[in-house]
């Protein structure tokens, strides 16, 4: 099974490019973020013609997540337990949930497409929301794996965090003044890993960014960030046989500012000499 994640930055603007890449790379499951449309607006016909079933979750022209699978989608959910909401200028419980999570079971693997809040600024309410959102995800992940330790679980998507200094090459991000690299964000990412998942791409692809801003020639200068991840449970990580970051998808006409990240899984009968992530 080949599973990929891609912040597509508007699926309607890039549908031909997205489907072409998925078919060319023989992707079985594609997790998308920032689709920027409602389910009714999603260009599912193009995916269906290529053999993909689609589950999409979007509320307006912002955010939005989706899963496309050619091997089925079961038990679809559009939030995880405890996921907080956000409404600018408001605080407290019962705030509206944004379209930032969709999960489904695909051939026994539980796959989530996640679009972690940006944070905006260290003094912005959105930053607190980001940290709360990550803590709720950590608690949900720990609960899932406590209940089912052998669950092949993949948390994929745009996490809007560069976990280490090696993951940040954009000089506009300043330590102590910028989101994505602040100690509380990096600590929240580390706590999520401690809930029982691991970055299954890094051991196989130790270097490489997944995002380059459109401004200031960031891509030609390779001033990017590694903020898109596939985090897998032990049962998932044990089956990973390959991984790749598709940098060339940042080139050409009308690219997203993110590129796809892909992992390849052995089936349950896989050879014992596969790479060990844990």
Which CATH superfamily does the domain covering 2-265 fall into? Endonuclease/exonuclease/phosphatase (3.60.10.10)
Complete DSSP assignment for 150-175: T--EEEEEE-----SGGGB--TT--T
Report yes or no on whether pTM surpasses 0.75.
yes
Q: Please report, for the chain, the start and end positions of each structural domain, with discontinuous segments joined by +.
A: 2-265
Buried (b) or exposed (e) across 201-213, using 16+ Cβ within 10 A? bbebbeebbbbbe
Eight-state DSSP code of residue 61: S
Are 78 and 57 within 8 A, CB to CB? Answer: yes
Q: Which phi and psi (to 5°) does residue 126 adopt? A: -65, -25
**CA pair distance 190, 60, nearest whole angstrom:** 31
- Could you list the pLDDT tens digit for every one of the 278 residues in the chain? 999 999 999 999 999 999 999 999 999 999 999 999 999 999 999 999 999 999 999 998 889 999 999 999 999 999 999 999 999 889 888 899 999 999 999 999 999 999 999 999 999 999 999 999 999 999 999 999 999 999 999 999 999 999 999 999 999 999 999 999 999 999 999 999 999 999 999 999 999 999 999 999 999 999 999 999 999 999 999 999 999 999 999 999 999 999 999 999 998 765 533 344 43
Strand-strand pairing, 228-232 and 198-199:
antiparallel
**CA pair distance 36, 251, nearest whole angstrom:** 21
Nearest Cα residue to 226 out of 147, 163, 278, 146: 163
């Amino acid at each position: 099974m080949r599973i990929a994640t891609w912040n597509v930055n508007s699926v309607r603007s890039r549908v031909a490019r997205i489907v072409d890449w998925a078919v060319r790379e023989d992707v079985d499951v594609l997790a998308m973020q920032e689709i920027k449309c409602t389910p009714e607006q999603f260009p599912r016909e193009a995916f269906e013609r290529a053999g993909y079933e689609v589950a999409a979750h979007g509320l307006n022209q912002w955010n939005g997540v989706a899963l496309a699978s050619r091997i089925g989608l079961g038990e679809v959910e559009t939030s995880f337990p405890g996921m907080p909401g956000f409404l600018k200028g408001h605080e407290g419980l019962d705030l509206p949930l944004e379209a930032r999570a969709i999960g489904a079971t695909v051939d026994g693997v539980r796959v989530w497409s996640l679009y972690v809040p940006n944070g905006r600024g260290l003094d912005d309410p959105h930053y607190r929301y980001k940290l709360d959102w990550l803590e709720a995800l950590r608690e949900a992940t720990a609960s899932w794996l406590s209940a089912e330790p052998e669950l092949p679980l993949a948390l994929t998507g745009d996490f809007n965090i560069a976990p280490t200094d090696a993951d940040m090459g954009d000089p506009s991000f300043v330590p102590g003044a910028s989101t994505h690299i602040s100690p509380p964000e990096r600590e929240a990412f580390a706590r999520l890993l401690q809930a029982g998942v691991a970055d299954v791409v890094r051991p196989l692809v130790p270097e490489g960014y997944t995002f380059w801003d459109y401004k200031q020639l960031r891509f030609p200068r390779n001033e990017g960030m590694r903020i898109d991840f596939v985090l897998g449970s032990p049962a998932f990580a044990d089956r990973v046989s390959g991984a790749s970051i598709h940098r060339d998808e940042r080139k050409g006409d009308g690219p997203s500012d993110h590129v796809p990240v892909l992992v390849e899984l052995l089936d349950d009968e896989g050879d014992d000499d596969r790479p060990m992530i844990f």
